Amino acid sequence: MAIFEWEDSLSVGIGEIDSQHKELIIKLDELAQCILHKTGKDKIATMLRFMDDYAEMHFATEESYMGKYDYPGLEHQKKEHEKFKNTTSRLIKNLESEKDLEHFASQVQRFLIDWLILHIRTTDLKFGEFLKEK
């Protein structure tokens, strides 16, 4: 049973970006399942690295669209993306020495949920509205 699932309310109206967001939600759910079922550091590290790599590609896609359409929020978006990348890199590094895996996993899950869902619902949806007006 999925913990996180795609909702149409998360759609920004750009097929490529929505498809990538759907993939991120699937991976967020997989990470949540790993944490719930206590599958260990290796699986959590693998999922975090995937999220980090996939986010890099996804952020490049978003920023490309924003640049193409002269989106005024592009610099803010880049800063948000940079914060995400810095945090995921720090989490990956900290995982190696983490003693309380359950607490750490909870922090990771909360960060990813808060960031991804909130970011999509606010920053990304604003861009979707901007494009609809164009």
pLDDT (tens place) for every residue of the chain, 134 residues total: 777 788 888 899 999 999 999 998 888 888 878 777 877 778 888 888 888 888 889 999 999 999 999 999 999 999 999 988 898 888 888 887 877 777 787 787 788 778 888 888 888 899 989 988 87
How far is Cα 69 from Cα 56, in angstroms, rounded to an integer? 20
The closest of 134, 131, 103 to 18, measured between CA atoms, is 131
Rg of the Cα trace of the chain? 15
Q: Which domain holds residue 64?
A: 13-133
The confidence score (pLDDT) of residue 36 equals 76
Q: Give the count of alpha carbons within 13 A of 85, CB side only.
A: 14
The confidence score (pLDDT) of residue 121 equals 87
| Residue 8 belongs to some domain of the structure | no
| Residue 3 belongs to some domain of the structure | no
Number of domains observed in the structure of the chain: 1
The confidence score (pLDDT) of residue 70 equals 95
How many residues are there in the chain? 134
How far is Cα 85 from Cα 81, in angstroms, rounded to an integer? 6
| Residue 71 belongs to some domain of the structure | yes
CB < 8 Å & 24+ apart, contacts of 77-85: 77/123, 77/127, 80/119, 80/123, 81/55, 84/55, 84/59, 84/115, 84/119, 85/52, 85/55, 85/56, 85/59
The closest of 105, 118, 100 to 35, measured between CA atoms, is 105
| Residue 22 belongs to some domain of the structure | yes
0.95 exceeded by pTM? no
Looking up residue 50, the CATH number of its domain turns out to be 1.20.120.50
